[in-house]
Structure formats: structure tokens, C-alpha cells
Amino acid sequence: MTHTIQARNVSEALYLAKQGIEATGVQVQTRNGPVLEFPTPVVTTYTHSRERALFYPERDANPFFHLMEAFWMLAGRNDVKWINQFNGRINTYSDDGVSFHGAYGYRWRNWFGKDQLKLAMHRLTTYPNDRRTVVSMWDANHDLVTTNDGKDYPCNTQIFFQVRDETLNMTVVNRSNDMIWGAYGANAVHMSVLLEYMAQMLGLQVGHYVQFSNNLHAYVEVLDKLQGMQPQYSNYELVEPSTVPYEPPPLVDQPSTFDQELAQFMQDGTASHDYNNKYLAQTAVPMYQAWQQWKGKDREGALFTAMCIEDKAWRKACTEWFERRL
């Protein structure tokens, strides 16, 4: 048996999962405190995974950290220093303070001595009906160990890609999923960005994103903070005039230069390079600049820069995150 969640976007998925776990969850004591967990695995299907920003004030998700971590992953990084600037506590999950053992992007692009994303693109191009395009994040030689000493082992373990009707669909398998911080927070951003990247690099439409969570849980203390949360299924309509549905700008405009330009952005996120891929120039750069201004105590400048973000969903998420702190 499985618990299924059919959702348009992450906002709807989070609310439905909250309802489900409060109705059927079983309390379990863990080494990090009590959790409520679903009694069976959970399958979540997103039909519009590009609607990936969260607006719930009770959740207070950090949009800068979420999107920048997705870029950090696409770039194949595992270093603490770059991503730590957006989340000052993430370094506590590193064993040595320098790198992360289970960093997804590094596993995608470097860990096994090959770039799995490029290999996956090759298979999907060469064999359009392929059912063997699997990207692995779990390495039994290093992760299936006899101790619990390590701080960072991959929670998401495999990704399956499949092309049907010129559309790329993706299924992600997860061994242990924190419902609030992971599944319907960071994971929904990271994995939907990966799906969009792969689809647009291949010239395909973005299809369904399915998340299989073998153990989906929420820490009781964190779940309690969401008690006043009201459903916001249609809040993406608020980022456009009501007669115009929200349509995010494409992540990839020029597949031939995206990886190179992403590396350039990672090297200097505040510089306005002449990017061929407009998402980097018009969404990623102003988000990075606004964050740096905020950290530098330039509150007015940060809010002004955030209002220049082209992707209206991230613009809304970033400005509201700032305003809650002002």
C-alpha cells in the first residue's frame, strides 16, 4: 500500500501532506526528536513542478537558499563554502567542514568518475523510448556502512528519466524524506530544476515529476509551527494579472552554452555577464545580488533589487521573505 498525493505544485502538495500526516501519522522517537511519519510509502505527483516557490508565511521558506542550492547542484559542486553563504547552518552536515559526502550534484556529475547527466542525455537522444536511463546518488561502497558516524548520506537515491510524446518525465526515489524541509521544500526545487534543465537541454517539454518517499515524516516541533497554515493552491495566479496564468521563463535558452555560463555565475554571481541564457542574467543574478545586499545590511537596496527579479514567482517569494523580516 502507498499513500498518494496528486498535486499541481509544491504549495498544494505541502498542504495535502500536512492534512494526511495529521490524520494518519504515527509518532516515532528518533535520534533527532519525535516525528510523525506516514505508515506507508508516499507517492507525490506534480503536474506543474515549475511552480516551485513556496509562499506560506508559516513555512517561511528561504527562496534564495532553495534556488541557489539547485544551481550549486547543477554545477556538480560539493563544497561547503559557496552554499554556506545562503544557509549558515548547512556546514554542520559536513564531516570535515570542507565538503559534503552526499552532495547530489557532485554525485550526478563527478562522484562515479563520469557525468551521469550527460550520459542520460545521450541515452535519451539515442534511444527515445529508453527505460534504462537511471541516475544514481547512492553508492553502496561508501554509503551502506556499518556505523552511524557520518552526517551526510544521500536521502534521494535514484532518478529515472523517460521520454514519451516529446515530453520528459522524471521519478525520484527517496529512502527518508523530511516532509517540511525536504520533500515539499528543498527537494521540490532541486529536482524540478533538474527536470527542467534536462528537458530543455534535450529540446523536450517538461512533464510529470513523481517523488517516491519510502519514509515521509515531519518533526513534531516543526509541524506544530504550521498549524495556522491555510491552503494556497492558486497563489501562483497572484504573481500575474488575474487574466494571465503564471508562466515561468525558461531555465535554458541556449543548451550549448548553459553549463559554461552556469560555471561563470558560480564563480561570480554578482557580475552581469552577457549571458545567452536569460534566466541566469535576469533571475539568478538579481537574486544573488539581493541576498548579498541583505547580508550587508542594505535592506532597502536588497528589496529594490529583489523587485527586479524576472521570474515573478521568485520575485514574490524573495520580496515577501524580506518584508517578513522588516
From the list 155, 262, 281, 306, the catalytic residue is 155
Nearest alpha carbon to residue 288 among 63, 73, 78: 63
CA distance 193 to 252: 10
Q: Which helix (H) or strand (E) holds 321?
A: helix 312-325
Side-chain-side CA neighbours of 225 within 13 Å: the count stands at 12
318 included as an active-site residue: no
Instruction: Pull the grid cell for residue 205.
Output: 517539454
CA distance 85 to 106: 19
Kindly state the DSSP code that residue 294 receives in the 8-state scheme: H
Side-chain-side CA neighbours of 179 within 13 Å: the count stands at 32
Q: Which helix (H) or strand (E) holds 242?
A: none
Biggest CA pair distance of the chain: 57
268-276 long-range contacts (CB < 8 A, ≥24 apart) are 269/68
Kindly state the DSSP code that residue 249 receives in the 8-state scheme: P
Active centre residues (catalytic) = 155
